[in-house]
Amino acid sequence: MPGLYARESRSVSKMAHLRFFPQAVVGGSGAYLTADDGRQLLDFSASWGAASLGHSHPAIREAVGRALSDQAGASYLSSANEACVLLAEKLLSLVPERARGRVWFGHSGSDANETVARIVVAATGRPRILAFHGAYHGGTIGSMGVSGHPAQQGSRAEGLTLVPYPNSYAAGSPEAARDAALAHLERLFETEVPPEEVAAFFIEPIQSDGGMLVPPDGFFKAVEALCRRHGILIVSDEVKVGLGRSGRFNAFEHSGIEPDIVVFGKGLGGGLPISAVVGPEAIMNHSVAFSLQTVHGNPVCAAAALAVLQTIERDHLILNAERSGKVLREALDRLTARHTLIGDVRGRGLALGIELVTDPASREPASRQAALTVYRAFQLGLVLYYVGVQSNVLELTPPLTLTPAEAESGVAMLGQALADVAAGRIDEALLRDFAGW
């Protein structure tokens, strides 16, 4: 549909990175991005969850400006600065007692999970790691090595064993999904994988890139009991759904478990590159050998992260995630009645997924339609992405500041996009511009 936006306004085709939309962004404010032709785009992805406070938040601008104008500024590197000390203290207060030891700072979810993968093996002397099929823990060799997403096939670490994440929609009920996944794990320990050789189990408390799967009640409690029995460390990857997004500060809190190690990233810096691993001293001490990265723990990113955590508290954004999430969820449930493409709506707070199927009875994944819907939504002014091992789940992770009116407005555009895709009112040739599929 040429004319909806100026395709030649500024080419992004020179970018070697994976890109989803044929337009560069030049700015943003709150839940909105500004495209280079001036169009306002409602950001239901919050840049994949990184823009936790939305775009150009005054608290981040002010904190970063102040950090840059300090004498040492960004050039004083490597964690031993006041902002990092304050941030470490804050993060330690936000995790369960058993994880309250030391903090390691990195730049991304990938380097944080990679660090964990190395230190748990070094600290326990156990060579094996468990993770879930569909799990995305990062894009570096080390973090891909403990991931189970199809995009990372061929990069699995030698000691890695993948187990199924319970999928309530596919299994027909949460109970059936939970029981099958637990039975698989117990069988695995009795047959192929001696539990005493397993150092850690990497979990996503909501499996986001694998399809926004919400674990059934009792699942992670049972996993925790198994891990405790065998001395296996639990690593909760909170990179996408943590920091209030799910309606609790840590998403694992919904399952009532207490992980040994907690990994933060994405939204922690509100768009600036910073990640953190928080865990017991005896294990974190093994990270010293991996601590030498030139600009990790720099005071500018740490100042942004402190501003993010303070703003989440001051503006009650966890409560807002729950409330606006409820409005969003209800609006999506209303859409479900009108669109046969929608098979399932799921998630918690402002971490929601919509599984698209070609037919609700067969539940055949509607992957092409998911790509078309994302593209059509972009044309209409809504930014979201798709996830899932079959690439057929629309992922909604808007800023934690989302208002109920913005939630309604986004769902109206999404409904229009779904209707246009279902009716074939979309020029598929435009997908050529859409690198990534």
Instruction: State the minimum distance, in angstroms, from the CB of residue 297 to ligand PMP.
Output: 16
Active site residues: 136
For 365, which DSSP code? B
Stretch that binds ligand PMP, among 224-232, 234-242, 397-405, 413-421 (CB under 6 A): 234-242
Give 183's contacts (C-beta < 8 A, 6+ positions apart). none
Stretch that binds ligand PMP, among 85-93, 131-139, 335-343, 358-366 (CB under 6 A): 131-139
Tell which positions 15-74 bind ligand PMP, by CB under 6 A. Answer: none
Q: Considering the rule CB under 6 A, would residue 204 count as an interface residue with ligand PMP? A: yes
Stretch that binds ligand PMP, among 71-79, 136-144, 225-233, 288-296 (CB under 6 A): 136-144
**How crowded is the C-beta side of 387, counted as CA atoms within 13 Å?**
23
Stretch that binds ligand PMP, among 31-39, 181-189, 232-240, 249-257 (CB under 6 A): 232-240
Q: Are 271 and 50 in contact (CB under 8 A)?
A: yes
CA distances from 404 to 320, 332, 391, 409, 423 (A): 9, 13, 28, 9, 29
Distance CA 207, CA 237 (A): 9
Q: Considering the rule CB under 6 A, would residue 239 count as an interface residue with ligand PMP? A: yes
Length of the chain: 437
Q: Considering the rule CB under 6 A, would residue 138 count as an interface residue with ligand PMP? A: yes
Q: Are 415 and 338 in contact (CB under 8 A)?
A: yes
Instruction: State the minimum distance, in angstroms, from the CB of residue 75 to ligand PMP.
Output: 24
Residue 345 bridge partners (DSSP): 354
Instruction: State the minimum distance, in angstroms, from the CB of residue 107 to ligand PMP.
Output: 8
The angle formed by the CA atoms of residues 104, 233 and 101, to the nearest 5 degrees, is 35
Instruction: CB nearer to ligand PMP: give 259 or 265.
Output: 265
Q: Are 95 and 278 in contact (CB under 8 A)?
A: yes
Q: Considering the rule CB under 6 A, would residue 136 count as an interface residue with ligand PMP? A: yes
Q: Considering the rule CB under 6 A, would residue 266 count as an interface residue with ligand PMP? A: yes
What residues make contact with ligand PMP under the rule CB under 6 A?
Answer: 108-110, 113, 136-139, 204, 208-209, 237, 239-240, 265-266
